[in-house]
Amino acid sequence: MKVKTIINAVGMLSLAGILLGACNANTPSGAASEGVAGEINMTDLKIAYVHTDSVINKFEFFINKSKEIADKGKKFEDELASRARGFEREVANFQQSANTMTINQARAKEEELVTKERNLVTFRDNLMQELSSDESRLYNDVYDRIQEYLAKHAEKHDLEMILSYTRGGGVWYADKALDITDEVIKGINEDFRAKSGTAAPAAQQQAPAATEGN
């Protein structure tokens, strides 16, 4: 079962808001502009960005968990299909034998089938809700893990800001020299393997895309 696409910006910050705040300090008339503690000199602002969908889709934790959910969804789909076929057979049998039943017998069987149909719909809805909850937990966990790693990465490399670059997002252009996507993918997977005790996959298989490529 295909995992639904989702691609909200990971730790997305409004660059315009940051720049406005940095330039908003007043200086006395005629006085030389001097840096104040807590302010960021625009010429010293260190920024990088990542292609969010690439980081997510190549994050081994996401790939592994997505496959687990897809496998679970396939089992649910098979179980639901089996129950639906059984119900259809029962309906067909009733239609063939209805003429041999008394009115009360036919009415009772109809009520039984209506109840079974309602239960089948409820079963289907419960399965869908469970899968949806699994997916929501996965995405929340993925975003938390990426945000945690990016915070450490920014501190290690003395970055004030890491932007999320997605098609149709808030950033229309960024110098490729600021792109740290591959570096982040490599680092976050190494970090994941170290924490989980897993080995690097022999052949990286990408999970279902969270969004269209950039």
66, 102 contact by CB (below 8 A): no
Q: What percent of the chain has pLDDT over 90?
A: 64
Q: Above 90 in pLDDT, residue 79? A: yes
Domain range annotation of the chain: 41-196
pLDDT of 35: 41
For the four alpha carbons of 72, 77, 80 and 85, in that order, the dihedral sign comes to: negative
Query: Which comes out higher in pLDDT, residue 145 or 205?
Result: 145
| pTM higher than 0.75 | no
Q: Which residues does 60 contact at the CB level (< 8 Å), separation at least 6?
A: 189, 192, 193, 198, 201, 204
Please report which helix (H) or strand (E) contains residue 75, including its range: helix 60-97
Query: Which comes out higher in pLDDT, residue 101 or 26?
Result: 101
- Read off the pLDDT of residues 65-78 as tens digits, 9 standing for 90 and up: 999 999 999 999 99
CATH class of 41-196: alpha beta
Question: For the chain, what is the mean pLDDT?
Answer: 81
